[in-house]
Structure 1
Amino acid sequence: MQTAKVKAKDMVSSAKEKVKEGAAEVQGKTGKAASSTHGEKEMAKEEERAHKAQAKAQKHQEKAEHRTDAAPGRHGTRVPITAGTHGHHGPVGAPVDPAYPGTGTNPAAEKYI
C-alpha cells in the first residue's frame, strides 16, 4: 500500500512541476514580447530556464521526501532468519598470526616464498 501512496504523491509532484513549467513559459513569452532589446530578451529566456530548473529540482526534492516518508513503513520490520557472515570467510591461505591480526599472514614468512 505504501508504494501506491508514493506513486500517487509522485504523480501530484509531477503535475505541479508541469504547471510551474507552463507558468514559466508564459512568463518567459510575455517577458520576451515586452522587451525591446536583445539583452532583455536573453534575460527573459534565462529567467524562464531558471524557473523551469527550479520546478524540476523541487519535484525531485518532493519525490525524495516521499521515499523517506515511506521508508520506515517498508524497512526494518523483517527479522533476519540467521545472523552471521552469510558464507563470507576470512582470507584464504596461511593461518592468521595473532601477532599480526590485520595482515592475514606473518609478514616475515612472505620473504621466503
Structure 2
Amino acid sequence: MQAAKVKAKDMVSSAKEKAKEGSAEVQGKAGKAAATTHGEKEMAKEEERARKGQADAQMHQEKAEHRADAAARRHGTAGTRGHHGPVGTPVAPDPAYPASGWHPAAEKYI
C-alpha cells in the first residue's frame, strides 16, 4: 500500500514537472520571438534551459522526500504491523498494583 502511495505522489510530481517544463518552453519561445539581437535570443534560450533544469531538480527533490517519508513511516514501528506504538514507548504502571513488585500474574501455578 505504501509503495502505491509513493508511486502516486511521484506521478503527481512528474506531472507538475512536465507542466513547468511546458511553461518554460512557452516563455522561452516568447522571449526568442521578442528578442531583436542574437545575444537576446541566446539569453532567452539559456533562461529556458535554466527553468527546465530547475523544474527537473525540484521533481527529484520531491521524489526523494516521498521516499524519506515512506521510510520514516516504515521504520517507526519495529515489526509490530501497526498494532502498537513505536518501540521504546514507556508503559504506564498500573495504579491498582503499587511499585511493591508484586503482581498477580507473577504467581502462576503450573
Q: 5-14 or 68-77: which moved more?
A: 68-77
Match for residue 13 of structure 1? 13
Retained in 2: the 8 A contact 1:2–1:73? no
Alignment-derived partner of residue 25 in structure 1: 25
How many pairs were matched up? 79
Structure 1 runs, 4 residues or longer, greater than 4 Å off: none
Superposed CA deviations along residues 7-37 of structure 1, whole A, max 9, x for unmatched, are 0000000000000000000000000000000
Deviation at 1:72, TM superposition (A): 1.9
Match of 1:4 in 2: 4
Q: Match of 2:9, as an amino acid?
A: K
In structure 2, stretches of 5+ residues that fail to align are 81-110
User: Residue deviations 1:41-67, cap 9 Å, x none?
Assistant: 000000000000000000000000000
- For residue 48 of structure 1, what is the aligned residue in structure 2? 48
Moved more, 66-75 or 10-19: 66-75
Q: TM-score, normalised by structure 2?
A: 0.68
Gaps of 5+ in 1: 80-113
For 1:73 and 1:40, locate their aligned partners in 2 and report how far apart those are by CA, in whole Å: 49
Structure-2 residue corresponding to 1:39: 39
Contact 1:6 1:67 in 2 (8 A): yes
**Matched-pair identity in %:** 80
RMSD: 1.3
Deviation of 1:73 (Å): 2.3
How high is the TM-score relative to the length of structure 1? 0.67
Contact 1:21 1:52 in 2 (8 A): yes
**How big is each residue's C-alpha offset from its partner over 1:70-95, in whole Å with a ceiling of 9 and x where there is no partner?**
1022236249xxxxxxxxxxxxxxxx
